[in-house]
Structure 1
Amino acid sequence: MDNNNFSGDISKCPFHGGNTVSEKSYQWWPKTLNLDILHQHDVKVNPLGQDFNYHEELKKLDVKALKKDVTDLMTDSQDWWPADWGTYAGLMVRMAWHSAGSYRAFDGRGGAATGNQRFAPLNSWPDNASLDKARRLLWPIKKKYGNKISWADLIILAGNIAYESVGLKTFGFAFGRNDIWHPEKDIYWGAEKEWLAPSENRYKDLETPTSLEKPLAAVHMGLIYVNPEGVNGNPDPAKTALHIRETFARMAMNDEETAALTAGGHTIGKAHGNGDASILGPEPEAAGIEEQGFGWSNPNGKGKGRDAVTSGIEGAWTTNPTKWDNGYFDLLFGYEWQLTKSPAGAHQWEPINIKDEHKPVDVENPTIRVMPMMTDADMAMKVDPIYRKICEKFKNDHAYFSETFARAWFKLTHRDMGPKSRYFGPDVPSEDLIWQDPIPAGNKNYDVNKVKEKISNSGLSISEMVTTAWDSARTYRGSDMRGGANGARIRLIPQKNWEANEPQKLQKVLNILEPIANEFNISLADTIVLAGNIGIEKAAKNAGYEITVPFKVGRGDASQEMTEVESFEFLEPSADGFRNFQKQDDNISTEEMLVDKAQLLGLTAPEMTVLLGGMRVIGTNYGNTTHGVLTDKQGTLTNDFFVNITDMSNTWKAVDKNMYEIRDRKTNKIKWTATRIDLIFGSNSILRSYSEVYAQDDHKEKFVKDFVKVWAKVMNADRFDL
């Protein structure tokens, strides 16, 4: 319903305000645990249907014809949104860059792999102004090729071809990104309620860039990286450099990659600020329906071309902004720069006494020369001693700069696609890159039952086997397809030293399993997962059920040399509700962190529920604590957790912030202790409904079968080779 144009009684409209019943519930009871993120990509919202297989569609794609069409688009200027200097290269690069640039390494969310730029909030971020036009320019091509090319792939391909059209030899390109069909509205982008709110909202101390709130990477709500005008809009290149370093580090980029991306991104195209930014219309999500998905309508002059306003900064960075050259460094180091303001009032830098032939020409009239500019972020490349040294090397070796940028661009645009086994197309580079987390193929030809017999007789306990397999697999993140049991990186630095993995206990288990893996010439990764499965099977047998946990052979073992230690540090768990572990007292509640972990593992709320209940009774708690175990038969796969969390013969008493006593209602005797995570399955109305299902007398076997199914799902989450 369009509330702006509706003339009836809006008080009678059940959808007034655009909020769902679920959203309104959280407005009334803001402390209620929000489970929506576990169901945000329900198959019901996918118009292509549950059976749609994008990789099968890609096999039908005429890649050569598609690339030609995208190349032709670059110079096919449209009157409704004319191309600067006759090419859309700069616009398409910015679209692809900002699609990929929302990625952050702490939780792997954001990035280009889902086509999420089409939806709110990203489609309406201030930093993405005018990218609605770029996507609409691509629509005829998407329409032509249909299901054979996803929006996610097309957006990045357009950026790649844009660079090739101006002379850069790119490193490669991979198809394989699947589109989503609903906004990722439950991803945490920050607590601010307004765009571009002061940075202090995100930092414990703005003078200490590393104090930026985790898992965020951008310095403002609605920006991709840093503020181009300076920290909080106050120009200071030296200070900006420190924030650039932290922001790009949170995308797993080093200093050289950061400098290359900054310079290479600004080698072509221009910023737009030739007008009054305050008169722009609302962003796409707030615009009237007559705008048909467009936002930021501009009544200034023609509102496009020379008169376009996007960031508010105005001008090109180089003399020839339609060519891949060293012009960025020539101007940056060839002149002294002074602070000025754009016509829109934004802070920017301009060269002092620039020669007329070094000025770029006007986007509409090549007979007119205009002033180039640099942002505060660009000046940081000159002022910061580390970035300056790198950029001077680039300036003196254009081939090295081009190669470094091409590799960094490939990393930026493919970082969240997961392993190379998910890549598709003729331009996939053959080189294995360390940030792709390479894993060699494992042995698939062995007698699984003989290995299981050896492990079963090894003396390892149910808890030790299940815990080790879980700790190996729980690192998986569906956000960027990193982590998981495949590769057995749990035995390598940094994972073997993580507190959550209980290093001493872990090493004991590995010392037993490694000789077994060597004896049968199989991967330790397979051996660890098999051991976990054996533990589950034994626990089920103790409960009276003969089951076989599904197992897929073929995992490989990565080496330390194949492991990028710094980027894997981002995967270290600060909490794991499934094992009742919490490393630190964060502002985020333990139950919210459990939901976050479950979503990254690809679990639904019912799956999260049955998995946690089963792990409690098996006895997988960190440090062997009994909090939340809720059974007298630990090591037996029963539904006791759910029976006892819903038992009204109990009372519950808080002992401290995260500890509770469960007492007998009649005798007041302490029966168990539990944490917030345990009690949430009895207190939250949605989770309690699931707990009641598994507590039913007729669902004891269902509980076991459902637990096994979810366990196998987690163990195989990273098996893209299947």
Structure 2
Amino acid sequence: MDGNNVNTGGKCPINHGALTENGTSVVEWWPKSLNLDILHQHDTKTNPMGPGYSYREALKSLDVDALKADLRALMSDSQEWWPADWGSYVGMFARVAWHAAGSYRLADGRGGAGTGNQRFAPLNSWPDNANTDKGRRLLWPIKKKYGNKISWADLMILAGTIAYEEAGLKTYGFAFGREDIWHPEKDVYWGSEKEWLAPSDSRYEDVAKPDTMENPLAAVQMGLIYVNPEGVNGKPDPARTAEQIRETFARMAMNDEETVALTAGGHTIGKAHGNGSAEDLGPEPEGAEITDQGLGWMPRKGRGIGRDQVVSGIEGAWTANPTKWDMGYFEMLFGHEWELKKSPAGAWQWQPVSIDEKDMPADVEDPSIRTVPIMTDADMAMKVDPTYRAICEKFMADPDYFSETFAKAWFKLTHRDMGPKARWIGPDVPQEDLIWQDPVPAGNTSYDVASVKARIAAAGLSVADMVATAWDSARTFRGSDMRGGANGARIRLAPQKDWEGNEPARLARVLGVLEPIAAETGASIADVIVLAGNLGIEQAAKAAGHDISVPFAPGRGDATQEQTDVDSFAPLEPLADGFRNWQKAEYVVAPEEMLLDRAQLMGLTAAEMTVLLGGLRGIGANHGGSKHGVFTQREGALTPDFFATLTDMAYRWVPVEGGTYELRNRADDSVAYTATRVDLVFGSNSILRAYAEVYAQDDNEAKFVADFVNAWVKVMNADRFDLA
């Protein structure tokens, strides 16, 4: 017994902080280290469902009518622990859905409601998302009942849609198909601020010019979904707020009419909460005590529920009937003059100069008590800005048009990040094709693939031409909002045909060869582009001594220019493509970080990114025929020479003017090759070097070819949701 005693002397038996967010990471120790975590965000190890589970299959057994009935019942089933305003949860669930969807941004497609990410940090603890945790907890009995047949992501958006239906709106439709993630998306860039609601100046070159906001951000301050409801940096000025609203909503893919409809419709039901002091609340969910069981902002003093809630700090409803879909928002906004006041919580809000008691909303707990309605600075912007005001007047003259416009805008808001219609499931999917869905006609699958391939082979295109064109067509895919990709062949349409990264002159020449083949064989040009890329890979592999066949699935369609929203496709333009060793300009972000961002959007792992880049270098697929990183004497062949040369200690690296590098022979200092930072990082970063060494081994050339082909096919088929 004595020999087994361990005297800890009161010391913790494990490394304190190592298992919490306080643990020091590699990047904290070495800030210049390249953080590859973004490529491992949703590793299968985080998913508890196992490889045999398919959400799309589970949805087939969902009783949609029963689910809707349960949600409708929930809307008026007020709970004592979190009572409903006016006995109705319509405002609560509309807000949960709104704030789940509202983090979407067009620039990189990240955010949005498509993954259920509102359950995790940082979104679950953003100040603007206060008390959405209560909404999710109210939904838990329904989630528990339907289990694997309904994702949290779908349930939250459906609850918001049903809320509007219960209020009296005829909604436009609903689609299931959002699959949950199981880990926080910690590596999404939400801004550089180190405190919540810090002044927005750091997000702009000039805060007075909203279009100078840093990309890819859309919200004006850290922790907000849209704009500050009290005004720019909390200072009321409706005209300035209108300018920020216009920019923020444009970055969410909304035009002026959709913006007004969403603002008015969003504030037609529910209320703002600020009847108390935020100092009386506990911390947000991620900072709460273990006994709070994942709930945040819990009252530490007072009731903290009902009429005594504090959320935004603004206190009051916008309409006289906050649980009903009507024209009350416009009647209130334009039927009164407004003046600035402070809420009980100390927030700026606008209140009527005078109002009859009969026009006031009732207290949320006692209908015999009337309360003063409010408007935020964002609401006043609808009245002050000339363009917004004209749209409001149009809506007021035609209430049906307002309802229809809001219903479509709500549908767009809550479905924008789901991708094309092929991913949408359920009985309420609208039949109409909407341009923001990036529609693609069905493709032909009955043509003779071998014959098309033979025609391409006889056309005389180089391996680099075929591979680069297919790559450029497919690389636009981003898994954040399921947009882009080779399906549709939009590389031949504006704006993509003119993007610098697509080498317009070379592209036009290659398309001039491939388009007639498509027209004469019945294949889509989208299929022919990909098939040509596959042929190029096969030829490159054969040149390296490997006889392979790259898998190909026909059926891509060809989109038309009329089916392409040019403005919304502009953000998909690559500013850099490390795979082809190209960068449009110098940026604050390092080239290797831009490579990681591109790889993550394409859904690639670190290993797939590594093998694709090395293979494309050997093939000679660099932008403009650049020789940077082409570490081989067999250019045009699918070889692992890039990795073998990179790891060969017979060479040393020397920086040269222009931000590039020379690989010099140690023996005589002669220049063997040139490179960029994107090339060198595969030798300098310990993780990437480990992958590079695998492919540099003498016994792994066949593995390299097989892995490259698998990764290539993954990229070419990333947007083939019909194959899932």
Shorter-chain-normalised TM-score: which range? over 0.9
From the superposition, tell whether residues 577 and 721 of structure 1 become closer, same or farther in structure 2 (CA, over 3 Å). Answer: same
- Give the partner amino acid of 1:363: V
Q: Does 1:210 align with 2:172?
A: no
Does residue 496 of the first structure (1) align with residue 497 of the second (2)? yes
Structure 1 partner of 2:198:
197
Distance apart, 1:83 and its partner CA: 0.2
Q: Which amino acid aligns with 1:406?
A: A
* Aligned CA-pair RMSD: 1.3
Q: Compared with structure 1, are the counterparts of its residues 411 and 315 closer, same or farther at alpha carbon in structure 2 (3 Å cutoff)?
A: same
Q: Does structure 1 residue 550 correspond to structure 2 residue 551?
A: yes
1:357 corresponding residue in structure 2: 358
Aligned to 1:3: none
User: 1:313, 1:70 → 2: CA distance?
Assistant: 28
Matches within 5 A, 1:619-698: 619-656=620-657, 658-698=659-699
Structure 1 segment 388-403 matched on structure 2, within 5 A: 388-403=389-404
**What residue number does 1:326 align with?**
327
Deviations 1:141-179 (A, max 9, x none): 000000010000000000000000010000000111100
CA distance in 1, matches of 2:317, 2:485: 44
Percent identical pairs in the alignment equals: 68
Taking the TM superposition and a 5 Å limit, the aligned residue runs for 1:177-576 are 177-576=178-577
Corresponding residue for residue 710 of structure 1 = 711
Match of 1:614 in 2: 615
Q: Residue type matched to 2:47 in 1?
A: N
User: Which residue pairs with 2:603 in the alignment?
Assistant: 602
What secondary structure does 1:416 align onto? helix
How far did 1:11 drift? Answer: 6.0
Query: Partner of 1:414: helix, strand, or coil?
Result: helix
Q: Quote the Cα distance in structure 2 between the aligned partners of 1:677 and 1:111.
A: 31
Q: Secondary structure at the match of 2:722?
A: coil
Counterparts of 1:565 and 1:717, CA distance in 2: 22
Q: What code does the residue aligned with 1:283 have?
A: E
Displacement of 1:13: 3.0
Alpha-carbon contact 2:436-2:565 (below 8 Å) kept: yes
- Which residue in 1 is equivalent to 2:129? 128
How far residue 580 of structure 1 moved from its aligned partner, in angstroms, is 0.8
Mean alpha-carbon deviation: is it higher for 215-224 or for 652-661?
652-661
Asked whether the 8 Å contact 1:628–1:678 carries over to 2, the reply is: yes
Alignment partners' CA distance in 1, 2:9 and 2:192:
35
Which residue of 2 is the match for residue 28 of structure 1?
Answer: 29
User: Is residue 17–residue 23 contact of structure 2 (8 Å, CA) maintained in 1?
Assistant: no
CA separation in 1, counterparts of 2:552 and 2:22? 41
Query: CA 1:20/1:263 → structure 2, altered by over 3 Å: closer, same or farther?
Result: closer
For structure 2, list consecutive stretches of 5 or more residues without a partner in the other structure: 1-7
Q: How many residues align?
A: 716
Q: Deviations over 1:663-707 (max 9, x none)?
A: 001100011110000000000000000000000000111111110
Match of residue 3 from structure 2: none
Q: In structure 1, how many angstroms separate the alpha carbons of the residues matched to 2:521 and 2:366?
A: 73
Offset of residue 24 of structure 1: 1.2
CA–CA separation in structure 1 for the residues paired with 2:190 and 2:590: 17
Deviations 1:441-485 (A, max 9, x none): 111001111111100110111000000000000000011100000
In 2: Cα distance, 1:277 partner to 1:373 partner: 19
Q: 1:175: which partner in 2?
A: 176
The CA distance in 1 between the partners of 2:377 and 2:23, in whole Å, is 43
SS at match of 2:539: helix
Mapping for residues 44-55 of structure 1, pairs under 5 Å = 44-55=45-56
- The aligned amino acid for 2:100 is S
How far apart, in 2, do the equivalents of 1:399 and 1:140 lie? 36
- CA gap of 1:467–1:66, structure 2 versus 1, over 3 A, is same
Cα distance, 1:279 vs. partner?
2.5
- Kept in 2, the 8 Å contact 1:300–1:307? The answer is no
Instruction: Give the CA deviation at 1:18.
Output: 4.5
Alignment of 1:113-152 (within 5 A): 113-152=114-153
In the aligned structure 2, how far is the partner of 1:447 from the partner of 1:72?
55
Supply the distance in 2 between the matched residues of 1:657 and 1:35 (Cα, whole angstroms).
26
SS at match of 1:697: coil
Map of 1:70 onto structure 2: 71
Shift of 1:301: 2.8
Following TM superposition, by how much is the alpha carbon of 1:400 offset from its aligned partner in structure 2, in angstroms? 0.3
Q: Distance in 1 between matches of 2:631 and 2:411?
A: 50
User: How many angstroms does 1:658 deviate by?
Assistant: 2.8
CA 1:10–1:89: 2 relative to 1, 3 Å? farther
SS in 2 for 1:651: strand
Normalising by structure 2, what TM-score? Answer: 0.98
Shift of 1:132: 0.6
**Distance (whole Å) between structure 2 residues aligned to residue 22 and residue 291 of structure 1:** 23
Is the CA contact 2:18–2:24 (under 8 Å) kept in the aligned structure 1? no
2:351 match: secondary structure: strand
Q: Residues of 2 paired with 1:628 and 1:22: CA distance?
A: 37
Shift of 1:21: 10
Query: Once the 2 structures are TM-superposed, how far is the Cα of residue 17 of structure 1 from its aligned partner?
Result: 6.0
Going from structure 1 to structure 2, the CA distance change for 1:41 and 1:76 (only over 3 Å counts) comes to same
Q: Offset at 1:634? A: 0.8
Does the 8 Å contact 2:99/2:225 carry over to 1? yes
Q: Which residue of 2 aligns with 1:582?
A: 583
Native 8 Å contact 1:350 1:374 kept in 2: yes
Q: Which moved more, 1:654-663 or 1:211-220?
A: 654-663
Helix, strand or coil for the counterpart of 1:698?
coil
Distance 1:313 1:23 in 2: 39
Structure 1's consecutive aligned runs of 4 or more residues displaced over 6 angstroms after TM superposition are none
Which letter does structure 2 place at the counterpart of 1:459? Answer: G
Deviation for aligned residue 1:396: 1.4
Aligned to 2:5: none
Q: Are the structure 2 counterparts of residues 21 and 686 from structure 1 closer, same or farther at C-alpha, using a change threshold of 3 Å? A: farther
Structure 1 position 522, deviation (Å): 1.2
- Matched residue of 1:412: which SS? helix
Report the CA distance between 1:386 and its aligned residue: 0.7
Point out where structure 1 has 5 or more consecutive residues left out of the alignment. 1-6
* Deviation sequence 1:587-644 (CA, Å, 0-9, x none): 1110000000000111000000000000011011111110011111110111100001
CA contact (8 A) 2:487 2:526 kept: yes
Matching residue of 2:62: 61
